[in-house]
Amino acid sequence: MSKGSLDKVSLGFFPTPIEKLTNFSNKLGGPQISIKRDDLTGLALGGNKTRKLEYILADALNQGADTIVTAGATQSNHCRQTAAAAAKLQLACHLVLGGEEPTNVNGNLLLDKIYGCQIHWAGQHRKGEDIEGIVERLKSAGKNPYVVPYGGSNEIGAFAFAEAMKELQLQTTDQEPYTHIVFASSSGGTQAGLILGNKITDANCQIVGINIDKDEINQCALDEQILRLVKNTAKYIGIDGHFTEKDVILNSNYVGAGYGVVGELESEAITMLARQESILLDPVYTGRAMGGLIHMVRSGEINANDNVLFWHTGGTPALFAYANELSL
């Protein structure tokens, strides 16, 4: 392993494609908007966690793990992709999911079950509060468990998104640079990595996270966590760089009624992108982030001279689980 690199296992198809959203941009009457299709990473119907898991599970294999443990909400995309990655690497997988076992198994949860992982229902604890006890039990049973952090957002997961900025740079050498990259931010690893990669590649673009969850992780504001993760990731891979609060642009105007509560903002974004471009968004993350982008264009916060990249982070399997909440 050389400076600035980490071991990796291949779990998806990269680079993910970039498309210009011509109909959608015209309809909005704003700037040119393009989309980076991380919903097409291939692993278990795709998503941004594939990038993180390629490096995190390489670390798990290096440590001789035989069992992967992670946590999330009932409809966690991170858990679904972790379950799929574990299956591919022939590791056992335990998921600690918030809520109670629903009577109707659908969306991501259906896929978790198809991938054959063991599910522990954690009630109010959707951010991994119960992991420690499960890890202890696995160890007592002679297993070697490896915990993938909430959302895959540690230094290794963030590094994967710094690498994603290098991928983007190679795809866009002969075109106008993007002024903004807009995406859904939740556990912060994606944003931390993009901020770091923005600096490494000198892309000089605004990295705009749309906060989709008003609950804080461990009582610490998300923007502070992101800044800390940027700094720690730079240190972890041994690169220099000075980062301040100014580097963390986190827009919390669109959290609405909270995590996973679908309203008009999400429904409009989902139907508009589907009907103009035939691309599907999800109700919890990308629908909210695109709803935010639509609003920023309409309000003039992002204007016609800008050149915007929307980073599609996946999540589409959750559409089916939210069928009754969408206004169509």
Residue ranges in contact with ligand PLP by CB under 6 A: 47-49, 77-78, 151, 153, 184-191, 282, 285-286, 313-315
CB of 47 to ligand PLP, least distance (A): 5
Q: Give the shortest CB-218-to-ligand PLP separation in angstroms.
A: 14
Q: Please give the structure tokens belonging to residue 104.
A: 């109707």
Taking the complex as a whole, the smallest distance from the CB of residue 148 to ligand PLP amounts, in Å, to 12
Joined tokens for residue 148: 């993938």
Nearest residue to 34 via CA among 247, 279, 317: 279
Amino acid at the residue 22: T
CB closer to ligand PLP, 138 vs 198: 198
Q: Please, what is the minimum distance in Å from the beta carbon of residue 104 to ligand PLP?
A: 21
Residue type, 86: A
Please, which residue, 82 or 179, has the CB nearer to ligand PLP?
82
Element (H, E) at 71: strand 67-72
Q: Is 76 tagged catalytic? A: yes
Residue 19 CB neighbour total at 10 angstroms: 13
Residue nearest to ligand PLP (CB): 315
Measure the CA–CA gap between 82 and 192, rounded to whole angstroms: 20
Q: Are 271 and 327 in contact (CB under 8 A)?
A: no
CA 143 – CA 136 distance, rounded (Å): 10
Catalytic residue among 25, 76, 186, 267: 76
Alpha-carbon span 303 to 301, nearest angstrom: 6
Q: What residues are labeled active site?
A: 76
